[in-house]
Amino acid sequence: MTWFEVDEAGVEAMLRSPDMIAAMERKANRGKVYAERLARRKAWRTGRYATGEPIPPGEELAEGEPGGGFHVWAGIRYGRAWARLYNPTPYARYLEWGTRRGMKPRRILGAAMDAMR
């Protein structure tokens, strides 16, 4: 009979390891490639949504400021490796979720997350 005992300190160290951060970042980058391809087909009017300058998470773009494209940030947060795939374009949330005024959701980031599974 085989027994397995969880070493909580070992699991915590694994979740913070550089290898885990790199694995999360690789997964998010695969989603980024998928999202960029999908955005070129579904949100093609200006191209700003699919390509653009990186903006750090939490910072907002001023009106008329360049930005957009899909970006990945990875690191340690709350004691665990994490990666974030995001698009800082001011209208990204409307493309993702639609509007009550009739704009249909295009669900680009959602589809990219589904493809990462």
- Report pLDDT for 1: 79
- Report pLDDT for 62: 55
pTM of the model: 0.74
- Report pLDDT for 93: 87
Contact assessment for residue 105 and residue 97, using Cβ atoms and an 8 Å cutoff: yes
- Report pLDDT for 64: 47
HSE-CB for 28 with a 13 A CA cutoff: 19
Contact assessment for residue 75 and residue 32, using Cβ atoms and an 8 Å cutoff: no
- Report pLDDT for 26: 93
- Report pLDDT for 22: 95
Model confidence pLDDT, tens digit, residues 29-53:
999 988 888 887 776 666 677 776 5
Residue spans of the domains in the chain: they are 8-116
* Helix extents (H) in the chain: 8-15, 18-42, 92-97, 108-116
In the chain, which residues have pLDDT < 70? 43-47, 52-68
Which structure tokens are listed for 41?
A: 């087909």
